[in-house]
């Protein structure tokens, strides 16, 4: 797998170069800590799960993105279909880059739709959805995972180096 994964990564780097976007893309070929993963998900405007196999039965990062109230675009693999039903996310067909671009651009062009999951996604899976409280709760969880993080007050967190 590692050999195939490295070949795939290299092909993506070449494609990014060919498309003239290499300076705008970061390829980070490593596993990251949960703390760092929460940081990446928290920084995302739109979260993508473009799995190519319908039989994908779990995605931890999809669950984290839902918990963070992120706008989500995904292929319709089994787990995503269950988690994102009832308008909790947007789908695009397997191997359809054009449709993926349409779905992402719809969200990037419409801040109301892009931020709607902050207020709706979690309420549809049985938890109250209050945007500010939700963000605070997610920040508290992520901060608790980092020994470098300390809470200085409501919604005020600092990280030591």
Sign of torsion over alpha carbons 107, 108, 111, 116 = positive
- Which pairs from 53-58 meet CB under 8 Å and 24+ separation? 53/77, 54/78, 54/94, 56/80
- Give, for all 161 residues of the chain, the pLDDT tens digit: 456 778 989 999 999 999 999 999 988 888 899 999 999 998 999 999 999 999 999 999 999 999 888 999 999 999 999 999 988 999 999 999 999 999 999 999 998 888 887 655 545 554 444 444 445 555 556 656 566 666 565 545 455 55
User: What whole-number distance in Å separates Cα of residue 104 and Cα of residue 124?
Assistant: 22
pLDDT for 132 equals 44
């Amino acid at each position: 797998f590692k050999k195939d994964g490295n070949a795939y990564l290299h092909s993506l780097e070449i494609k990014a170069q060919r498309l003239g976007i290499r300076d705008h893309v970061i390829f980070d070929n490593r596993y990251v800590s949960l703390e760092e993963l929460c940081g990446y998900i928290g920084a995302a405007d739109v979260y993508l799960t473009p799995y190519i196999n319908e039989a994908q039965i779990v995605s931890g990062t999809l669950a984290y993105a839902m918990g963070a109230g992120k706008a989500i675009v995904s292929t319709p693999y089994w787990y995503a279909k269950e988690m994102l039903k009832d308008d909790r996310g947007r789908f695009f067909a397997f191997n359809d880059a054009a449709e993926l671009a349409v779905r992402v651009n719809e969200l990037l062009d419409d801040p109301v739709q892009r931020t709607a999951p902050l207020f709706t996604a979690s309420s549809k899976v049985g938890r109250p959805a209050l945007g500010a409280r939700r963000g605070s709760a997610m920040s508290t969880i992520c901060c608790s995972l980092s020994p470098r993080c300390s809470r200085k007050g409501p919604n005020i967190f600092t990280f030591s180096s």
